Structure 1
Amino acid sequence: MPELFTARLRLRPLHDDDLDALARLNADPEVMRYIGDGSVRTREETAAGLARMRAEWEERGHGMFAVEVRESGEFAGWTGTTVPHFLPEVLPAVEIGWRFDRGHWGRGLATEAARAVLGHAFDAVGLERVVSICHAHNGASEAVMRKLGMRRERETVVPGHGAPVRVYAITREAYGV
């Protein structure tokens, strides 16, 4: 599994040692406000999610990265690619997503990390198109999508819980790889 570096960040494979940081992230109601049905996740749910994220690398050759601040080594969150099974109407597709600790919001880290992952997805993985899906009221994530050059394709609802979402997409050609 590769590591990616940006001016301020190190993106590395997720490890079992990341469970505590991920559990804190997933237990924060403000962080989870626009994720799924808005519920926080238990440590056990987070552990299961971490196992799934790690397995995706083996199954697909791409997946989620832990995001660390290079200067301090601090865990800031995660970003990466996955298949958005929760929204069957967009399949087949690969989605880019991110989740950051509140202490790292508003500094452009999500955009910086996602830009590195998109480059990797198009260049190293060879994807032709990537989508991103956010809750219709999540203006911060929508702003990241626009900064990445993604274009809004549709608004819909998630079948499992009825949350309104917006689907953005970008092609390899539009990204310029």
Structure 2
Amino acid sequence: MNPIELQTPRLRLRRWREEDREPFAALNQDARVMEHFPGLIPRDRSDATVDACINAFATRGWGNWAIERRDTGEFIGFTGLSIPQRRFHFSPCVEVGWRLAHAHWGQGFATEAARVALQVGFQQLDLDEIVSMTAVGNLRSQAVMRRIGLVDTGEVFEHPGVPEGHPVRPHCLFKISAEQWRAARG
């Protein structure tokens, strides 16, 4: 499959470039961005995430896109679809997710990018369902999930990738089926 690249009115969702590594590492070291993660992500793990994203596009043609502002060309973070590496009780699944630099919060970029990611998932990849998860206290991401049409399952689970006893270990699960997505658009 040829790699999928997308545009919205304000954003370009594209494959990763080498020059994205530095700003991505910087946002992974921003305590505001990483507030609902177990900790800041060191450069080697940040680069490994970029490598995994590049590999997903090389093998599947889709994954987590780098997000670039069309007006400035600036890299601002990522959004996209991924197959979680960890096993969850709801696996196998495809997850929609995002992470944006703090300077770009509150402008609707996460919602705009995630909506087009869902569209790819349901129209081009013919997925039956897409999930999203976040720490229970991450109300901003939960608001994005609701805006893009995901439904709160009401389920709280312990994220296996977060150390036991850590305050962000409890996660909530949101989902949307292809049928729900089509009905909301129709």
TM-score (norm. length: structure 2):
0.89
Contact 2:4–2:61 (CA under 8 A) maintained in structure 1: no
User: What SS class does the counterpart of residue 33 from structure 2 fall into?
Assistant: helix
In structure 2, the residue matched to 1:48 is: 48
Deviations 1:62-115 (A, max 9, x none): 201011111111111100111123352120100010000000001111000000
> What amino acid maps onto 2:11 in structure 1?
L
Contact 2:4–2:62 (CA under 8 A) maintained in structure 1: no
Contact 1:87–1:158 (CA under 8 A) maintained in structure 2: no
Q: Distance in 2 between matches of 1:10 and 1:56?
A: 18
Would you say 1:115 and 2:121 are equivalent positions?
no
User: What SS class does the counterpart of residue 4 from structure 2 fall into?
Assistant: coil
- After superposition, the Cα gap between the structure-2 partners of 1:4 and 1:115, relative to the gap in structure 1 and judged at 3 Å, is same
In structure 2, the residue matched to 1:124 is: 124
1:99-110 matches, cutoff 5 A: 99-110=99-110
Q: Distance in 2 between matches of 1:26 and 1:54?
A: 18
User: What SS class does the counterpart of residue 146 from structure 2 fall into?
Assistant: helix
In structure 1, the residue matched to 2:20 is: 18
2:170 to 120, 145, 164: 164
Q: Distance in 2 between matches of 1:98 and 1:87?
A: 20
Would you say 1:98 and 2:104 are equivalent positions?
no
TM-score (norm. length: structure 1):
0.93
Query: What RMSD, in angstroms, separates the aligned Cα atoms of the two structures?
Result: 1.3
Structure 2 gap ranges (5+): none
In structure 2, the residue matched to 1:175 is: 181
Structure 1 gap ranges (5+): none
> What amino acid maps onto 1:67 in structure 2?
I
Q: Which runs of 4+ in 1 moved over 6 A?
A: none
User: What SS class does the counterpart of residue 77 from structure 2 fall into?
Assistant: strand
Q: Distance in 1 between matches of 2:86 and 2:173?
A: 13
Q: Identity over aligned residues, as a percent?
A: 36
Q: Distance in 1 between matches of 2:117 and 2:60?
A: 15
